[in-house]
Amino acid sequence: MKHLGLGPGPEFDRIRAIAKVLGDRVGELGDDCAVLERVEGSLVISTDLSIEGQHFRREWLTPEEIGWRAAAAGLSDLAAEGADPIGVLASVAVPRREANTAERIMAGVGSVAVEVGARVLGGDLSAGPFVIIDVTAVGQTVRAVTRSGAKPGDGLWVTGRLGGARAALDAWRQGREPDGTARDRFARPVPRIAAGQWLSARGASAMIDLSDGLAGDAAHLAAASQVGLQLELDHMPVDPAVVAVALDRGIPPQRYAAEGGEDYELLVALPAKFSASDARQCQTDVGTVLTKIGEVVRGHAVRCTLAGVPQDLAGFDHFA
């Protein structure tokens, strides 16, 4: 069977099993996007499913926000390839007699598409027992940055600040309204399209968006590149909304942020020569904070430390 470059976990065991069943009928799997080579550059395609009760609850979000975050997930995959988005297709199922819900969801899909310079290309509508949105995002790039190019000696950097989406989710589950900043991080994540293109142009060797959390997605990048990763959580850029929530639960904020999901920031491997000065230039050019949190090393494991103490982290898994 082809090397899929997937980390451990029940969800990815199922993907491996599906690939085995498909055999020679399957193409290259293991990345968030399918990359189709063309005469000039590549066509980059991603698909993401968002299901009521699994990915969101309607009492938490407006229909527009549900559509925004569903489309943002697919567009974030394009960002991790360093791609320029072309557009999205969205298939939406809503309960009968809720046609207006579908319209409002699609308004959110259109809003995030415009935010990153794309448009809605089409889709499908159906009735269903609850809300389901399946988004296909299409982009193009001269050089696709996959998960599989990281090399020992590369630095590991992350965009933005982590943990805000988890803080919002925990608040809702506890019956509280989240901090406004944390709520926005969950409801209206902004795909890092400009940052992904900027990093690709600066020699990014591998990149992945943090949908399953730093802990889980770092393992996928390591598996795809067949390398080890050393993460120093002391340097984690933590969302301000995280600190009080994490300390209230007795969890160090850095660890809390590393185990959260759906931040849709980028984890990127960059050449050793990429410096703090270059990172400041990233913020100047595209408005995105870039923080070094570790290095690519020989081996296969992801090792994390906090204040010098090894940490055994868990990422999000749909089938856990």
- Residue 280 Cα distances to 209, 266, 276, angstroms: 21, 16, 6
Task: Check residue 38 and give its pLDDT.
Answer: 73
Set out the domains of the chain in order of their start, with CATH numbers: 31-141 (3.30.1330.10), 155-311 (3.90.650.10)
Judge whether residue 283 has pLDDT over 80: yes
Judge whether residue 25 has pLDDT over 60: no
Q: 11, 318 in Cβ contact below 8 A?
A: yes
Q: How far apart are alpha carbons 116 and 209 in whole angstroms?
A: 16
Tell me the pLDDT tens digit for each residue of 161-195: 999 999 999 999 999 999 999 999 999 999 999 99
Closest to 231 measured CA to CA, from 309, 167, 123: 309
Closest to 312 measured CA to CA, from 180, 191, 219, 205: 219
Average confidence (pLDDT) over 29-44: 73
* DSSP H helices in 84-163: 99-115
Cα 202 versus chain centre, distance: 20
Query: What pLDDT band is residue 319 in, cutting at 50, 70 and 90?
Result: very low
Average confidence (pLDDT) over 289-312: 96
Closest to 81 measured CA to CA, from 29, 171, 37, 146: 146
Task: Check residue 318 and give its pLDDT.
Answer: 44
Cα 122 versus chain centre, distance: 23
Judge whether residue 27 has pLDDT over 90: no
